[in-house]
Structure 1
Amino acid sequence: MKQRSAMISIALGACLWGIIGIFVSSLYEKGFTPIQVVTLRVTMAAIFMSAYVIKKDHRLFRIPLSDSRYFIGTGIISIVLFNWCLFSAMEVTSISIAFVLLYTAPAFVTILSFFLFKEALTLRKITALLTTLVGCTLVIGLFPDVQGSISLYGLLLGLGSGFFYALYSIFGKYALRKHNSLTVTVYTFLFAAVAVLPFSGLGERIAIFSQWEVWGLIAGLGFVSTMLPFVLYTKGLEYVESSRASIIATIEPVVASITGFLLFNETLTIWQYAGIAFVIGSVLMVQESRKTKAIQPAEGFNV
Structure 2
Amino acid sequence: MANSHSATAARLSWIGTIQIITAAICWGTLGIFSTYLNQIGFSGWQITILRIVTAALLVLVMLPKLWPHLVKLRPKQWLGLALQSLIGVLSMSVCYFFAVIYVGAGPAVALLYTAPVFSLLFSAFLLNETITRQSALLALMAVSGVGLTMLGDEAQVNWGIILGLLSGMCYSLYGVLGKRAMHYAHPAPLVFFTSIIISAGVLLLLPETYHTYGQLLTLPLHTWGYALGLSLVGTVVPFALYMKALEKLPATRASVFTIFEPLTAIALAILLLHQSLSLIQYLGVVLILLAALLNAVLNGSTTRVPRWLKRRQKA
Normalising by structure 2, we get a TM-score of 0.85
Give the corresponding residue for 1:235: 244
User: Relative to 1, partners in 2 of residues 1:228 and 1:149: Cα closer, same or farther, differing over 3 Å?
Assistant: farther
SS class of match (1:267): coil
2:288 to 266, 274, 279: 279
Give the corresponding residue for 2:174: 168
User: Relative to 1, partners in 2 of residues 1:228 and 1:169: Cα closer, same or farther, differing over 3 Å?
Assistant: same
Give the corresponding residue for 1:209: 217
Q: Are positions 1:9 and 2:19 aligned together?
A: yes
SS class of match (2:276): coil
Q: Are positions 1:61 and 2:70 aligned together?
A: yes
Q: Are positions 1:39 and 2:46 aligned together?
A: no
Q: 1:67 corresponds to which letter in structure 2? A: Q
Displacement after TM superposition at 1:53 (Å)? 4.8
Residues 121-143 of structure 1: per-residue CA shift (max 9 Å, x gap): 111101101100111111221xx
| Higher alpha-carbon deviation: 199-208 or 218-227 | 199-208
Give the corresponding residue for 2:229: 220
User: Relative to 1, partners in 2 of residues 1:57 and 1:111: Cα closer, same or farther, differing over 3 Å?
Assistant: closer
Displacement after TM superposition at 1:207 (Å)? 4.2
Give the corresponding residue for 2:195: 188
Displacement after TM superposition at 1:284 (Å)? 2.1
Contact 2:32–2:105, Cα closer than 8 Å, also in 1: no
Displacement after TM superposition at 1:91 (Å)? 0.5
Which structure has the larger Rg?
2
Unaligned runs of 5+ in 2: 1-10, 302-315
What aligned pairs does 1:50-199 form with structure 2 within 5 A after superposition? 50-54=60-64, 56-62=65-71, 63-141=73-151, 147-149=153-155, 151-178=157-184, 179-199=186-206
SS class of match (1:32): coil
In structure 1, C-alpha distance between the alignment counterparts of 2:295 and 2:162, rounded to whole Å: 23
In structure 1, C-alpha distance between the alignment counterparts of 2:60 and 2:287, rounded to whole Å: 38
Normalising by structure 1, we get a TM-score of 0.89
Q: 1:256 corresponds to which letter in structure 2? A: A
Give the corresponding residue for 1:28: 38
Contact 1:43–1:193, Cα closer than 8 Å, also in 2: yes
Contact 1:15–1:255, Cα closer than 8 Å, also in 2: yes
Displacement after TM superposition at 1:291 (Å)? 5.7
Give the corresponding residue for 2:58: 48
Q: 2:233 corresponds to which letter in structure 1? A: V
In structure 2, C-alpha distance between the alignment counterparts of 1:199 and 1:169, rounded to whole Å: 27
Displacement after TM superposition at 1:114 (Å)? 1.5
Give the corresponding residue for 2:269: 260
| Higher alpha-carbon deviation: 203-212 or 180-189 | 203-212
User: Relative to 1, partners in 2 of residues 1:247 and 1:150: Cα closer, same or farther, differing over 3 Å?
Assistant: farther
Q: 2:217 corresponds to which letter in structure 1? A: F
SS class of match (1:198): coil
In structure 1, C-alpha distance between the alignment counterparts of 2:229 and 2:200, rounded to whole Å: 17
User: Relative to 1, partners in 2 of residues 1:215 and 1:102: Cα closer, same or farther, differing over 3 Å?
Assistant: same
- Amino-acid identity (%): 28
| Higher alpha-carbon deviation: 196-205 or 102-111 | 196-205
Unaligned runs of 5+ in 1: 293-303
Contact 2:27–2:261, Cα closer than 8 Å, also in 1: yes
| Higher alpha-carbon deviation: 254-263 or 206-215 | 206-215
Residues 226-279 of structure 1: per-residue CA shift (max 9 Å, x gap): 000111111111111111110111111111000110011101122222212211
| Higher alpha-carbon deviation: 173-182 or 8-17 | 173-182
User: Relative to 1, partners in 2 of residues 1:267 and 1:117: Cα closer, same or farther, differing over 3 Å?
Assistant: same
Give the corresponding residue for 1:300: none
